[in-house]
A and B are shown apart, each in its own frame.
Chain A
Amino acid sequence: MTVENEIEIMGQRLNEKINNMFGRSLHIREVDAGSCNACEVEVTALSNPIYDMERFGVHIVASPRHADMLLVTGPVTRNMELALLKTYNATPSPKLVAAMGSCACNGGIFGDTYASGGGVDKFIPVDVYIPGCPPRPQAVIFGLMVAMDKFEQKIRKTEVKA
């Protein structure tokens, strides 16, 4: 199957889920918490004309205050820790966090050292993990779908509680 077809099929499914959950669009703020910049290359690729995530309702926004979801890359360096926490707190609830790339999942090759924090979930709660170094764009789309399902559960839970 060509990349284009793959994306079309996955994208349609993602779009359906987004429609159900968010009424048309999912807003994402990408946070680089110390990545090697290759994960950014793939996030950028998601908006090129081949993948064109916007047509499925996925929109990368400029501020965490407009976001439904944080897409975090990198192992969370000591120097980025505070900025990540501030960004997380600035994102309105209910919010989703996706850890993108091996670094974000568990520190990856940079591990847990004096400078590297060893993964996003040590600092903020993570809903989905998207492994890969870097994950292919297809993997990111898949990750977003999983996140949508999780979000549904999350909302249900809050409803029950209330």
Chain B
Amino acid sequence: MKSQYVDTIKKEFKEFVIGDPALVNETYLTLKKDTNVMAYVDAIRKEFGGLITGEAVLRNEVYLTIKKEANVKICDYLYHQFNTPLVSIFATDERKTDGHFKVHYVFSCDREDAFIILKINIEEKSPQYRSITSTIPVANWYEREIQDMFGLVPQGHPDPRHLIHFEDWETGLYPLRKDFDIRTKPKRVKGEYVYRRVDGEGVYEIPVGPVHAGVIEPGHFRFSVAGEPILNLEIRHFYTHKGVEKLFENIPFDKAVFLAERISGDNSVAHAVAFCQAIEKIAGVEIPPRAKYIRTILLEHERLYNHLGDIAGIATDVAFAFGAAQANMLKEDLLQLNEYVTGSRLLRGMNTIGGVRRDIGDNKDKILLKLSTFQQEFRKLMELLMETPSVVDRIETTGRIYNDIAKELHVVGPAGRASGIDRDTRRDHPYAAYRELNFKVQAHKSGDVYARTRVRADEVHESIAIIEQALWSLPEGAIKNEVKEIPDGFALGYTEAPRGETIYWVRTEGGRIERCKVRDPSFCNWLAIEYAVLDNIVPDFPIINKSLSLSYSGNDM
């Protein structure tokens, strides 16, 4: 049956598949004619037939190579006609294979559990392409990132400033190009970064950071205020840019799992699992059922302590010290449980390509017992928080993100769900054992700090339920499948981290990583904060920031 499809594809699309022979590789090509995602593809074909120059389907990923000039049109069509969120944009340097840079636009078809990836080829001679930011605002940072890392210029971008590099970066150096050596130490040149200015009587600026007053990561915030209310906020990040994507290309697979764990430290498991899944897809390995369940349990453990940390942070920032102390204590309990079960307070070192390293089945009773006392305490804590007028007063209507804005900016995770965006990778693109477990995606409408706190509280209960189910139905058997050789190929890996949808795209070549694009949820959500704080007062900024739970390191990489 399968080979029949392969033949059809080869015959039908022979002329389309140019310069990308990996696309027609029988070993991992499974075309599901019956999935509805093909309906989207058919529609695109009908509408833009002549502009499509190549097609390929790999598992649930449909790759369409389109003409460079058509990117705005087709992206716009997919995004607005079919309501498929744009979840990532990234470039690759494939000059040595076919002389081109490529830009990929990844759209997620949530209902079909599939992805449509549009590709355009860009010649080295004219490293430009048309920006889609004015029609799809989500593209803003991605395009600036590609400009800094690959030197591909998005023409017509409304804000063409540097994003990742600072003003002292030498022009003409692009770290993710293949001819850039990772050990280069570019000299510092003179330059200036121009902030947006708000003028008017009584308007003044408050610059904050990069070194903050609390124990948080570095970033710069520039508020323009008139009295108390914030008129404008400009954020400037990438202080913690560590060259992670380039580093991936220079280390072996085993070490890459550890690196993935350290992209956003408190989302270690989510990152490691997303990375491992991409590699497992490329290698065509299915991990043992027991490993799937263990991964699920770990992912939910991670969600628990993260959500508790966020709730503690919100309580601290509204100056409700007693609630904060309680929440912090509960979080510490979870961290100690993590250490007891896995040997690492942050659940590190558990995942590996092909499964997990350590069995946690023996600790079932301990985990269940701990979680049940935890749940009781947590209920009391939430009652306390949500029934204290001084807390509710500070968080209701604060930092509101309306649904339409949240959609436009592609706000993900609990923050998105608090604004009525009913998306959750665990349900829409099930991985690990989520397909077999029962859980509800919690969504609220009001989009304020209150809703974000509520979503997290509800998710804590869901997570506990998931862990319990997974522990009760933990299958017997091995916890790891040996992955001996990793063939050339590419695939997406994705998880729902505590902060939201995390996307990896990995390409392997000759037994090493050729390109690894990481899209941390914070990369999307940071843009929303500039909007969320408008008309709020400066003292509410920390609460809004905490409620969005943003990672600087995951964003900057």
**Residues of A near any B CB (own CB < 8 A):** 3, 30-45, 47-51, 60, 62-64, 74-75, 77-80, 83, 86-87, 108-116, 133-134, 136
Contact = CB atoms under 8 A, between A and B. Distances in A.
B182 A30 contact: no
A67 to B, nearest CB: 11
A110 B261 CA distance: 12
7 contacts: A34-B553, A37-B553, A48-B329, A48-B331, A78-B241, A115-B246, A136-B345
Interface stretch (B82-90, B209-217, B461-469): B209-217
Contacts of B240: 32, 34-35, 74, 77, 79-80
Given A113-B182, A115-B175, A50 B218 contact: no
Contacts of A60: 215
B121 interface: no
Contacts of A64: 211
Contact of A32 (B216, B244, B336): B216
Interface of B: 166, 175, 180, 182-186, 210-211, 213-218, 238-244, 246-247, 255, 258-259, 262-266, 268, 309, 325, 328-329, 331-332, 335-336, 345-346, 348, 551-554
A77 B246 CA distance: 14
Contacts of B182: 113-114
B268 A38 contact: yes
A80 B325 contact: no
A113 B243 contact: yes
Given A35-B217, A133-B262, 12 more contacts: A34-B218, A36-B265, A38-B268, A41-B309, A48-B329, A49-B325, A75-B242, A109-B262, A114-B246, A115-B246, A134-B265, A134-B345
B242 A77 contact: yes
Nearest to A51: B332
A108 B217 CA distance: 18
A80 B210 contact: yes
A43 B309 CA distance: 13
Contact of A109 (B259, B325, B335): B259
B265 A37 contact: yes
Contacts of B217: 32, 35, 37, 40
Contacts of B238: 79
Contacts of A133: 262, 348
A35 B213 contact: no
Of listed A43, A110, A111, A113, residue having the most chain B CB within 10 A: A113
A111 B247 contact: yes
Contacts of B258: 109
A62 B175 contact: no
